[in-house]
Chains A and B, each alone.
Chain A
Amino acid sequence: MTAMARPATARRPPSGAAVGMAVQVPERASEPGWLKAARQRAATWVDAHGFPTTKHEDWRYTKLDAVLAVPLAAPPEGAAEDGQASLSSGDLPAPHLGGSRVVVVNGWIVPELSAIGVALPGGVRVESLASALQADDGRLEQSWARHVGGYPHALRALNDAAVCDAVVIDLPPGAVVEDPIEVVFVSLPASEASWWHPRLVVVAGAGSSATLVETYLSVPGGPSVTNAVTQVHLGAGAQLAHYVLQGERRDSLHFSSLEARLGPASRLSSRLLATGGRIGRHEVDVVLAGEGADVELDGLFLVGAGQHHDNPVLVDHAAPGCTSRQLYKGVVSGDGHGVFNGHLVVRPGADGTDAAQVNKNLLLSEQAEVDTRPRLEINADDVACSHGAAVGQLDPDALFYLRARGVPEREARVVLVSGFAHEILERFGSGAIRQRAEELATAAGLIVLDEDGHPGGIATCAATGSRRGGLSQ
């Protein structure tokens, strides 16, 4: 009768649309048996369950039609080489963040463009899937085994089935990596529209600490689907500062999932700046599995004309004494559509949980739309949980205040929008990562003001949603 044992309702497997196309599992003789079996298992799951539709609660606001129109071809090994000639390290975002850089083009690591192993202390490994499989100690197998009981939806399963390459980062216990480890995912136009399934696996041993930056970019061309999965396992007391900068071109379709499992007293901060793609969906699944773990999730999504961004964020308090904070902000202009789909679960026995979930959205045009769904699911009584959501336009009183002091309307709007976004942007620190975030935000039409209220050099109007985008920012 009671629903106590029920897991988070939001991740019920969908009874979805027919796949309509066969999932191709890459055949690679060099891969170990367990990986072949895992790929097959995932492909079978997709065939059996199909893709989610808007009837599925978690996909209520995101249609996959445009995505499923792209043929599910498995990118051949070396597909990246086609367009690689046109790409040089000068096209990649500058400045280099100073640490290790891995460049993944169309799902494959390109060593020529990367600087793997720079500024890494002893024992820390950053490597490709093939290389990690050679030294495999069973940890990668666990990574593929996480959804044995069923996937939350077909896209995650698809990544398991069809992943081409993976970036595997291994931090031994106690390792401290000072400089950010950077992974740049680039979509190049291929001869035909394709799906890429990049994968990033971070295993952080007890007491280790690192900074990880993911940047997603694309070169104009045909539509492509990026279906990325990032997995993070934090051991006891490990700390990871994680940043995602998503700025693909407007013809791209972007899906990414962060799956994090936090051990006792570990700490994860994950910050997202999302501006790119026709469709962008940035899933976050965090399980607070060890006592006293702490997670901070921040997101800023700048959604302009013709864009759709969905942010499903699931925080699962499975252990006592954990803390979680979420702050997601959306700025939506043109006929853009922004979605926040937060879900906070407190399991029975997770006493002492302290959780807060906040989503605020700014609508800048008549055609813009925001849907927000901040959900709480609480099965323990000794908790303090709160959530809040707000949707509105720029505060007319604040606009009036500025105009009464002689600030022209357009500038006043810029000040207010910039101030709204600033709360998230300032969480990108003060160095090169912040600079890159501000550049991306600027390219998306947001005028980022500096401390003195001066725009950072580029004058586009925040309200028009006009943007330059692309690689050469």
Chain B
Amino acid sequence: MSAARAELADLAGREYAYGFSTDLDTDFAPRGLSEDVIRLISAKKGEPDWLLDWRLGAYRHWCTLAEPTWQNVTHPPIDYDDIIYYAAPKKNAALSSMDEVDPEVRAMFDKLGISLAEQERLSGVAVDAVVDSVSVATTFQARLAEAGVIFCSFSQAVRDHPDLVRAYLGSVVPYRDNFFAALNSAVFTDGSFCYVPEGVVCPMELSTYFRINAAGTGQFERTLIVAERGARVSYLEGCTAPMRDEHQLHAAVVELVALDDATIKYSTVQNWYPGDAEGNGGVYNFVTKRGRAAGARSKISWTQVETGSAITWKYPGVVLQGDGSVGEFYSVAVSAGHQQADTGTKMIHIGKDTKSTIVSKAISTGHGQNTYRGLVKMLRSATGARNHTRCDSLLIGPDCGAHTFPYVEVKHPTCQVEHEATTSKVSDDQLFYARQRGIPEEEATSMIVNGFCREVFRELPMEFAVEAQRLLSVSLEGAVG
């Protein structure tokens, strides 16, 4: 064990492979938040009046709110006047082809392993790349347009499809929802927009790659995905940020709307910079994600692998409105070093015979603190609704913590809710079994941890599953015990 303890120390010193920053010529808004800053952001983006009014409404509401304190994470107070709310790499005039993307931006994405230019030939995944506050490139637009799918940056959607944006913006996460949703609604700068028309099965995986690059900035993007009747779409999201001493705030909002028989699958591999060995720096990932399974038999599925961020605090949820709609949540959250995570889901059952499944796997190591917090709410109208929740925690090392705070609220007798959870360390018996067969301890632990997460990984699209497994093994390097 003592050798393992010593190795624990190594964990803290592990390399964050995406910690570089790129010297991009960036356009900033002045530091701080005021109505003027919001007007400036809106003007820079050439937004219509209704959107500016919406932003200002959100800002005025935000001013009346106090930052919540119930979460099971601790951080020094955030100075909202010390954040740059708009930072955009310059030269982002409308692009007609990938070749026009700023070579430095392309080089940055190449370094991240997301080659914008080679997307088409290699992976067949359409990518919207978001740097700091704005979308810099969206690949594959033409081929998607052939199928009738709209996939573009949020700014472009506001310009080209204002009616769609106006109809759905804030319909799932209104700006009155919570403190960070209000902040995001006031200052959001870009993000991705996707609209899949009736009966269309999106021909390829859609993906957004988020990158915080500039220092002193916050990233506030918004993603809106609408799947019309019978449509299907699978969407991936990846995130990285440079290593910086200060904390950076990432407060995004993601809204999903699925109409009758539509399916949306949303996968996240979150690898924001987690901070250094002493817990300095790192991204605060305070995100509001919610899907509205509005139509009958619609389905929304969230899969998340959370390995990065100093603090992860989010509850991707599903409002199960349509009769027979389905919500799913699969999560792997890793807290190593001084990382903290308070994450889980909310399943609000409104329609009849709605079903939800929650599988959460939390791994804590080093000084990591990991909290699962989930709400399963069955309203009186949700006759015959069912939920099954399984959340397991794995503790590696004596200084970490794993917490489980489920909330189950049931208002109808025909609803059936089951919640089960376990917390334990890596089983000595399993380790012994593997080591007896000549597998070194570290490899054996990694194998056991991978097995522990398997249920979630198999929900990920293949490219992401590979990345997720690799991230997990990097996160756990030296953490065996």
- Give chain A's interface residues, CB within 8 Å of chain B: 1-4, 6, 9, 57, 348-349, 351, 361, 363-393
User: How many chain B residues touch A (Cβ–Cβ < 8 Å)?
Assistant: 45
Q: Is B111 an interface residue (CB 8 A)?
A: no
Tell me, rounded to whole Å, the shortest Cβ–Cβ distance linking A160 to chain B.
Answer: 27
Q: How far is the CB of A318 from chain B (nearest CB, A)?
A: 15
Q: Give Cα A158–Cα B246 distance, bound, in whole angstroms.
A: 46
CB < 8 Å: which of B401, B404, B419 contacts A4? B401
Closest-by-CB residue of A relative to B416 is A392
Q: Is B410's CB within 8 Å of the partner chain A? A: yes
Whether A383 pairs with B395 at a CB distance below 8 angstroms is: yes
Contact partner of A392 (CB less than 8 A), chosen from B278, B367, B403, B417, is B417
A324 CA to B269 CA, complexed, in Å: 37
> Within the complex, what minimum Cβ distance (angstroms) separates A338 from chain B?
10
Is residue B271 contacting chain A, with contact meaning CB distance below 8 A?
no
- CB neighbours (8 Å) of A374 from chain B are 404, 406, 419, 421
Query: How would you classify the secondary structure of chain B's contact residues: helix, strand, loop or mixed?
Result: strand
A364 touches B408 (CB 8 A): no
B176 contacts the other chain (Cβ, under 8 Å)? no
Contact with A along B69-90 (1 / 0, CB 8 A): 0101111000000000000000
- The closest CB in chain B to the CB of A371 belongs to B409
Determine the residue in chain B with the shortest Cβ distance to A56.
B70
Chain A residues lying within 8 Å of B75, measured Cβ to Cβ, are 1
Indicate which residue in B72, B395, B397, B416 contacts A3 across the interface (CB closer than 8 Å): B72
Contact: A366 with B367, CB < 8 Å? Answer: no
Q: Whose C-beta in chain B lies nearest to the C-beta of A379?
A: B401
List residues 221-247 of chain B with CB under 8 A from any CB of chain A: none
Residues in B with CB closer than 8 Å to A351 are 398
Contact yes or no, B403 A378, CB < 8 A = yes
Closest residue of chain A to B71 (Cβ to Cβ) is A9
| A381, B396: Cβ atoms closer than 8 Å | yes
Asked whether any CB of chain A lies closer than 8 Å to the CB of B407, the reply is yes
A368 to B400 alpha-carbon distance, docked (Å): 40
Chain B residue nearest in CB terms to A337: B411
Interface: B430 (CB within 8 A): no
Q: A2-B367, A374-B406, A376-B423 are in contact. Are A381 and B411 (CB under 8 A)?
A: no
B417 x A4 contact (CB < 8 A): no
B contact residues around A393 at 8 Å (CB): 413-414, 416
B393 within 8 A of A: yes
> Could you say which residues of chain A place their CB within 8 Å of the CB of B402?
376, 378
B206 within 8 A of A: no
A371: which B residues are within 8 A, CB to CB? Answer: 407-410
Report yes or no: A381 in contact with B400, Cβ–Cβ below 8 A. Answer: yes
B420–A386 touching, CB < 8 Å: yes
Residues of B close to A349: CB separation below 8 A: 398
Known: A3-B340, A389-B417. A369 touches B410 (CB 8 A): yes
List the B side residues contacting A386 at CB < 8 Å.
420-423
A388 vs B74: C-alpha distance when bound (angstroms): 28
- Most chain B CB within 10 A, of A1, A367, A380, A388, is at A1
What would be 22 A-B contacts, judged by CB atoms less than 8 Å apart? A2-B74, A2-B279, A4-B367, A348-B398, A363-B413, A366-B380, A370-B408, A371-B408, A371-B410, A375-B403, A377-B403, A378-B423, A380-B398, A381-B395, A385-B424, A386-B421, A387-B404, A387-B421, A389-B419, A390-B418, A391-B417, A393-B413
Does residue B433 face the partner (Cβ distance < 8 Å to A)? no
Nearest to B279 among chain A residues (CB) is: A1
Residues of chain B with a CB closer than 8 A to A365's CB: 413
- Rounded to whole angstroms, the CA-CA distance of A368 and B413 in the bound complex is 7
A4 to B340, CA, bound (A): 11
Please indicate the chain B residues that have their CB under 8 angstroms from the CB of A372 in the complex: 406, 408, 419
Q: Is the CB of B408 within 8 A of A373?
A: yes
Cβ of B23 within 8 Å of any chain A Cβ, yes or no, is no
Complex contact B409–A376 (CB within 8 A)? no
- Choose one: A381, A383, A389; the contact of B408 (CB below 8 Å): A389
Contact across chains for B413 and A366 when beta carbons are under 8 A apart: yes
A-contact 0/1 string along B405-443, CB 8 Å cutoff:
111111111111111111111000000000000000000
